Structure 1
């Protein structure tokens, strides 16, 4: 814990004259009674109330100290820290074309892929992981990071309607998606660099062929794991017709041959996922990849933590008033 305004602690020096005044004033302020002889009261036991007459004064001091602490603005510790962890650099390349709305996986392909990928990310806290999304074009949704909370939030915000709304060209640019992910890994210093490419279609867009991108990955020491998602026959696909949703059966269009060649070229492995359970198993298999050491820097923000001190000061202040007006009340 740190204090922004440490100079306020100098106010604690005011307690010294207050204690001196209290000890001197107490002898003259307490009520007295004249008696001819006090010998009989010399060994009389003192009541608990008499023994605790100093308690209100102590509570006032505690309130003052807590107020000074609040004025000093306590904050949580905040600094850059470096540590060495075991991890690898991973780029997820995910197809977001409109065909990913097919519902052969529940609730649909894109949501199943996002859910399983989120579990995979959460299970690898020490890895640098980034996200590339592609349809007819490709771009980086999140660069590699160990801030997996932000990465998962960005992943959950991925939608297939960016192509339907014309924000990017629809289609399946596998080569562009892979090339984008590879470009994020090319300067990595780690021993293990991996791209996990997931798609449900065949390459039909883009200026870079999938095998060209795979060869680039191979030359940079990047392994590529490819996942073909979707059923092997027909899949229900939602279409808007006259303002309503109508389902049509869509034939599987995934290019298994090209995805296998990509994985073979880039020293990876090809997988086929026709349901969510198989997709989870695939990510568990990939989770067994070798790990390598890397340095990670973590940053924590500063947060004011005066609230507990303010609450304690209020409680002690009210307690002091209550005791002074009841148990320790003095009758002039």
Structure 2
């Protein structure tokens, strides 16, 4: 809360001489009478009325102070300022093929990738970030948005067995996943446009090759950072069997050469993550990307807030009048 006319608060200083006058000269204005002796009042006691004798004057002071506050025009307001924040436009392209169920990363590649991506999103509140998922085909899970709460919800809703259950065709369509992400960034006016492509395999599906998508990204000024997820040899893969799950060692086949070429073509970087710690470090490295300034215009609207002060002042005045004319009434 703010006061539009703060200079009126100087009027409160007038209470000082008023209080001094009340304390020094009050007794002169109190009616008195002469008696031959005060012995009869020697053992007298104070009543609750005598203890409240100063209450009307205190209420009077409070009423005066509240009226000064009303003159000072208290105001509340919604404040929005014009400021510049920094951010970039980012699309996360995430592989959700069945091979992402391998457990060389804990609890598995898919969950590890989701957890680290969630931390990355939470650390960039000023960015437009979207999510594309791909296996044998690709689609946009969440378009670019600054509503990161909704984005994180959409990210966590990606099931690790989405391809295994047939919701999306299995396989690894890296070119389609990258092309889908690029299409979401084509109309972006940001200075920096980035795709973070995460996969654990080699392109074996889709109508667009990875390098074709990379050339399209390059023509649009989009940098691609590629992340290859998985150990160097074999990884434990869960296979459902009667009565439980059996683990088999699945060979890790990642086309790191193509991922490096994609990154080099678009001016990005290529990474390899063989464990959770390395994956987390990769996202922290990408977090140091160049940022672009965006102007955010904010507006302000003020509201007068004198009403509570005025109502309270009227209430204090009414209570004072009632007390002076009833229980604290003086005669004469």
TM-score by length of 2: 0.68
2:51 to 48, 51, 54: 48
Cα distance, 1:101–1:48 mapped onto 2, change above 3 Å: farther
How far apart, in 1, do the equivalents of 2:34 and 2:139 lie?
Answer: 95
Structure 1 residue matching 2:163: 3-state secondary structure:
helix
Task: Note if contact 2:111-2:160 (Cα within 8 Å) is conserved in structure 1.
Answer: no
Aligned-pair CA distance for 1:296: 4.8
Cα distance, 1:119–1:38 mapped onto 2, change above 3 Å: same
Report what 1:242 is aligned to: 242
Report what 1:173 is aligned to: 173
Task: Note if contact 2:82-2:298 (Cα within 8 Å) is conserved in structure 1.
Answer: yes
1:39 to 25, 29, 33: 33
Report what 1:142 is aligned to: 142
Deviations 1:205-225 (Å, cap 9, x if unpaired)?
Answer: 111111110010001000001
How far apart, in 1, do the equivalents of 2:243 and 2:78 lie?
Answer: 55
How far apart, in 2, do the equivalents of 1:76 and 1:146 lie?
Answer: 25
Task: Note if contact 2:176-2:208 (Cα within 8 Å) is conserved in structure 1.
Answer: yes
RMSD: 3.4
How far apart, in 2, do the equivalents of 1:40 and 1:278 lie?
Answer: 98
Kindly indicate whether residue 162 of structure 2 is the aligned counterpart of residue 162 of structure 1.
Answer: yes
Report what 2:128 is aligned to: 128
Report what 1:113 is aligned to: 113
Cα distance, 1:78–1:109 mapped onto 2, change above 3 Å: farther
Cα distance, 1:53–1:87 mapped onto 2, change above 3 Å: same
Deviations 1:268-315 (Å, cap 9, x if unpaired)?
Answer: 11100001111111111111111111245799xxxxxxxxx9xxxxxx
Q: Report matched runs for 1:1-332 at 5 Å.
A: 39=33, 47-52=50-55, 83-296=83-296
Cα distance, 1:239–1:119 mapped onto 2, change above 3 Å: same
Deviations 1:187-242 (Å, cap 9, x if unpaired)?
Answer: 11111110000000111111111111001000100000100001011111111111
Aligned-pair CA distance for 1:154: 1.3
Report what 1:305 is aligned to: none
Deviations 1:36-95 (Å, cap 9, x if unpaired)?
Answer: x96369xx9973334447999xxxxxxxxxxxxxxxxxx99699x875311111111001
How far apart, in 1, do the equivalents of 2:140 and 2:295 lie?
Answer: 23
Structure 1: runs of 5 or more not aligned? 2-36, 57-74, 300-308, 310-327
Deviations 1:232-271 (Å, cap 9, x if unpaired)?
Answer: 1111111111141111111102111111111111111110
How far apart, in 1, do the equivalents of 2:58 and 2:117 lie?
Answer: 60
Structure 1 residue matching 2:282: 3-state secondary structure:
helix
Structure 2: runs of 5 or more not aligned? 2-30, 36-44, 60-75, 300-307, 309-326, 328-332
How far apart, in 2, do the equivalents of 1:216 and 1:291 lie?
Answer: 22
